[in-house]
Amino acid sequence: MFKGRSQSSRTSEVTPVAEASEEALLAAAMQYDEAALGELYDRYEAKIYTYIYRRTGDEALAEDFTAQVFLRMLESIRDQKAWHSSFSGWLYRIAHNLVIDHYRRKGRQGTVDIDEAAPTASEEHDPEVTVAQSLDAERLRAAIRRLTDEQAEVVSLRFLEGYSISEVATMMNRTEGAIKALQYRAVATLRTLLYDQLH
C-alpha cells in the first residue's frame, strides 16, 4: 500500500524509520510523512490481516478489510480525527467493527454456498482431517459471532492474537478488571455454545 515511496526529508538520518519508536512514527505520520506511514503499515498489516482472517475464515475478505483499516487510518489523519490512546487498539477496533458490520449485514448465522467454499483437499494433509479442522474453526467463529461485541473482541485479542490482559485493556481503553470479567463471561458462554453444538 505504501511500498516504494521515498523517505521524507523529515525522517531523522540518525534513526532509520524502521528503528523509530512507535511514538516517533505516529508523530511523523500525523505530519503525512510517507516513510512513517509505510513503516506503520509494515508493522501492523500482517497482525490486522491475521485478526480479520481468524474472525472470518475468508482470505479475500481479510485482504479487503485490512486495506479498509489502513484507508480509514489515512482518512482519520487527513480529517484530524486520530486515535486518542492506543494506536494498535484503535486499528484493532476498526478491524473489529468491519467484521461485526459484515456479519450484521450477512446475518448472524451466514451460510456459504458449497461452490464458493475454499478447497479443503491438500497434498500434505488427509482431506478428512482438513475438513474436520475447517469445521472446528467454523464452529468456533460461529460461536464467537454469538458473543457480545466486546466479549468477541476480548476473545479474539486474548486467545487468537495472544495479547496479555494489560495489553488488551490498553487497546480497548478498559481496566484490567473489566477485561478479566469480559473474558470470564465470554469463555463461559463459548463453553456452553460449543457444548450445545456438539450435543
For cell 479498509, name the residue.
68
Q: What is the pLDDT of residues 48-77, one digit of tens each?
A: 999 999 888 899 999 999 999 999 888 887
Q: What is the pLDDT of residues 166-181, one digit of tens each?
A: 999 988 889 999 999 9
Closest to 28 measured CA to CA, from 105, 102, 87, 103: 87
Q: Is a pLDDT exceeding 60 seen at residue 138?
A: yes
Asked which of 113-117, 119-123, 139-143 is least confident by mean pLDDT, the reply is 113-117
Q: Report how far residue 113's alpha carbon sits from residue 115's, in angstroms, rounded to the nearest whole number.
A: 5
Q: Is a pLDDT exceeding 50 seen at residue 119?
A: no
What percentage of the chain exceeds 90 in pLDDT? 24
Q: pTM, whole model, 2 decimals?
A: 0.65
Provide the pLDDT for residue 3.
Answer: 44
Residues with Cβ within 8 Å of residue 196, at least 6 apart in sequence:
none
> Hey, what CATH topology would domain 124-199 get?
Arc Repressor Mutant, subunit A (1.10.10)
Measured in Å, how far apart are the chain's first and last C-alpha atoms?
46
Q: Report how far residue 76's alpha carbon sits from residue 57's, in angstroms, rounded to the nearest whole number.
A: 28
Provide the pLDDT for residue 129.
Answer: 58
Q: Report how far residue 27's alpha carbon sits from residue 31's, in angstroms, rounded to the nearest whole number.
A: 7
φ, ψ at 113 (rounded to 5°): -65, 135
C-alpha cell of residue 135:
469445521
CATH of segment(s) 14-108: 1.10.1740.10
Q: What is the pLDDT of residues 140-159, one digit of tens each?
A: 888 888 888 899 889 888 88
* CB 148 within 8 Å of CB 138: no
Domains 14-108 and 124-199 alike in fold = no
How is the chain split into domains, by residue range?
A: 14-108, 124-199
For cell 478488571, name the residue.
177
| Mean pLDDT confidence for 121-139 | 59
For cell 474472525, name the residue.
55
